[in-house]
Structure 1
Amino acid sequence: MKSQVAYFNDLFSAGSKSTRTGSLKPANPFWVMVRKEVADQVHSWRFIILAGLVLLTFVGSMYVSLSNISKAVADARDPDRLFLYLKLLTITDGTLPPFHVFIGFLGPLLGISMGFDAINSEQSNGTLIRLMAQPVYRDTVINAKFVASLIVISTLFLSLGLLMIGGGLIITGVKIEPSEFIRILCFVALSIIYVAFWLNLSILLSVKFRQTATSALTAIAIWLFFTVFYQILLNIIIKALLPDPGLLSQDQLQSYNGIILTFLRFVPSQLYTDATSTLLMPSVRSLGPLTMEQMAGAIPSPLSVRESLLVVWPQVSGLIAATVSCFALSYYWFMRREIRT
């Protein structure tokens, strides 16, 4: 209770200072709320548990990768064998999936846990109406909650990326190439965008529903649908509507596979998997079926960072568009929402 009183006092003093002119630099209510939200997120048990799971899977994946790195580098058939630090994020012996596969599974849970009660818990506890009584703008509340959660997520993934690079330098003694460092940073940024989508979706549901249990269950149901049931329903619909692929010609088979890939890319996890596979495996040249004419004259060599980014830009722009759309809708609903006890 004392921390809540101090928080409202800070907000009131920040709003009061912003209306006066003086020698003191006025405090910004937005950053007061961001600091409070960051502290709440970091000290909450649900974040500690999920961050611990992410860290545990990271350590397990790195252990498996380091145990098999010598075999991967010695394999002359692997075009990516020279990218040592990228191999740390991709190789596996079958006991544990690579780290980016774990992020594709645990990332949505992390985002949902940080945003499903962002607004409705404040209203059910009676603190939202007290917050609106302070000299702050309404949009400051939802902006601060999103920015605070994004800061926590960014710090977590950036720390893991730097930890992987530092551990690789200490254990292997091999210096990291600039292209590998850029690819790892792009992977970290893509992971942040992916988790931010689920964070914004959970905030949207928190604005829409007044009960925290309803918003949490709805977010988990959406995640389960895209993770488990979407591909099952898609296979049933394809078998019912499209002809048998064994009876198709080469051109028709390419169109058939293109249709399947198009519908699979409505799934955020598929966009994330496609983009991370291309960024962490420079030998991947395309994310769709290629004809013999397109493959003619292609040199089997790794792509540059710029070329890999051009390949994955549709997936990245799709995730960004979905993230911005969810935040814009939650912003619109919250600004028009009636706040009362």
Structure 2
Amino acid sequence: MQRKGSALSGMSTIAWKEAADHFSSARFHFVMLLVLLTAFGGVYGAIGEIKNTIGQDPFLFLRLLTTSKQPVPSFVAFLGFMLPLVSIALAFDGINGEYGRRTMSRILSQPIYRDALLFGKFVGGMIVLTISLLTLWLLVTGLGILTLGLPPSGEEIARGLCFLVACLAYAGVWLALSLFLSTVFRQAATSALAALALWLVFSIFWGMIAHALTAALAPIDPTDPMTLVNAVEWQTGLARLSPNTLFSETASALLNPQTRSLGLVFINQLEGAIPGAPLPFSQSALLVWPQLSGMVAAMLLIFTAAYVTFQRQEVRA
């Protein structure tokens, strides 16, 4: 039997309602307050470190995001750590919460398809993330102008906006994962714990796991230098299965123009390169394109899994 009308009819209504609910929820307020405090702590520490280099560094505003002052990590490090938590908080009860409140059958009894419901919840979360990250980026830029007394250059703005897109892709991966877990588990607490467990694995333990797998899959022969190259490539590839690694590499290339490679580099590949010379923005964008594409692909793949799982579930009154 063919469905009548568009499967996504009503998606925008659900998306804006979800966004409004998130913005008015105490849970979101608490998480965003934590993000703001930690982020501004990182920026404040960076300002104290880079004030002495005003007039010497052409990318002063980018240093605001990457410079750390012990024991406070950099702004980028805070984002890499906190963005998954924000995404998990937005979607861990997106679907099973409707089942728990017994409102799922009531929603689907309206002239709306499941497609629109799931897409609306995901788009609503992305709207919240977009507004929050854009606001945070503007606040950091304004704070930098006030304290340093210099406006950002055009290339710094372009790199900052591209980094903002990378943040959205990174947060979108965790939002899709959290939404997927909320379709798999009927209890919100279970889906939240599963999402937090995966976050801990990718944030803390994945480097050790990648190293152990590399030692097993690509052992190093001391008499053969190519086995060392093979092991490094294996470890790099396994590490890039983590969205955290993809995000950190993207941030490194975009916010540090001196970065020329994100993998293994041989001496003959550096022929003609000027040491310390910054790459133009277009070349840095080409450098991070695989990482950015990987995060977007992971987001779409996980959301597709959530879509298939939700479509096959039985909804009872």
Q: 1:283 maps to which residue?
A: 258
Deviations 1:29-76 (A, max 9, x none): 33332232112111222211110111011110111111111234577x
Within the candidate set 46, 50, 53, 1:65 is matched to: 46
- Determine helix, strand or coil for the equivalent of 1:202: helix
CA distance in structure 1 between the partners assigned to 2:65 and 2:26 by the alignment: 28
Question: Structure 1 residue 163 and structure 2 residue 139: aligned?
Answer: yes
Alpha-carbon contact 2:65-2:76 (below 8 Å) kept: yes
1:273 corresponds in structure 2 to 248
Deviations 1:195-251 (A, max 9, x none): 111000010111111111121111111112222232223333334454457x25554
Distance 1:98 1:119 in 2: 35
Secondary structure, aligned partner of 1:228: helix
Query: Which letter does structure 2 place at the counterpart of 1:259?
Result: W
Q: How many residues align?
A: 309
- The one of 27, 37, 52 equivalent to 1:56 is 37
CA distance in 2: counterparts of 1:261 and 1:104, whole angstroms: 19
Q: Give the counterpart of 1:336 among 309, 312, 317.
A: 312
Q: Distance in 1 between matches of 2:52 and 2:220?
A: 41
Whether 2:203 is the aligned partner of 1:227: answer: yes
CA RMSD of aligned residues (A): 1.9
Identity of aligned residues (%): 38
For the 8 Å contact 2:215–2:231, the answer to whether it is kept is no
Q: How far apart are the structure 2 equivalents of 1:85 and 1:313?
A: 23
Matched residues in 2 for 1:230 and 1:85: separation? Answer: 31
Q: Which amino acid aligns with 1:282?
A: P
Q: Which residue of 2 aligns with 1:292?
A: 267
Matched to 2:196, the amino acid is: I
Q: CA deviation at 1:95?
A: 2.1
Q: Are residues 248 and 256 of structure 1, via their aligned partners in 2, closer, same or farther at CA, if it must alter by over 3 Å?
A: farther
Tell me the equivalent position of 2:238.
263
CA distance in 1 between counterparts of 2:184 and 2:219 reads: 42
1:216 equivalent in alignment to 2:192: yes
What TM-score results when the alignment is normalised by the length of structure 1? 0.86
Equivalent residue, structure 2, for 1:193: 169
* Counterpart selection for 1:105 from 63, 70, 81: 81
**With structure 2 as the length reference, what TM-score do the two structures score?**
0.92
Using the alignment, how far apart are the partners of 1:337 and 1:323 within structure 2? 21
Which runs of no fewer than 5 residues in structure 2 stay unpaired?
none
Asked if structure 2 preserves the Cα contact closer than 8 Å seen for 1:61 and 1:98, the reply is yes
CA positional deviation for 1:155: 0.5
Q: Return 218-227 or 192-201, whichever deviates more.
A: 218-227
Aligned counterpart, 2:61: 85
In structure 2, the CA distance between the partners of 1:236 and 1:256, relative to structure 1 (3 Å rule), is closer
Which of 72, 96, 99 aligns to 1:123? It is: 99
Counterpart contact for 2:11–2:116, Cα < 8 Å: yes
Contact persistence 2:39–2:79 (CA under 8 A): no
For residue 35 of structure 1, the aligned residue among 12, 16, 20 is 16
Gaps of 5+ in 1: 1-17, 19-27, 76-80
Q: Which residue of 2 aligns with 1:22?
A: none
d(CA) in 2 for partners of 1:203 and 1:149? 10
8 Å CA contact retained: 1:72, 1:91? no
Q: Whole-Å Cα distance in 2 between the matches of residues 198 and 32 of structure 1?
A: 23
- Matched to 1:254, the amino acid is V
Q: State the alpha-carbon separation in 2 of the partners of residues 233 and 294 from structure 1.
A: 30
Q: Secondary structure at the match of 2:70?
A: coil
Q: Which moved more, 1:165-174 or 1:320-329?
A: 165-174
Among 272, 277, 291, which residue is 1:315 paired with?
Answer: 291
SS in structure 2 at match of 1:92: coil
Q: Supply the AA of the counterpart residue of 2:264.
A: P
On the 8 A contact 1:197/1:322 being kept in 2, the answer is yes
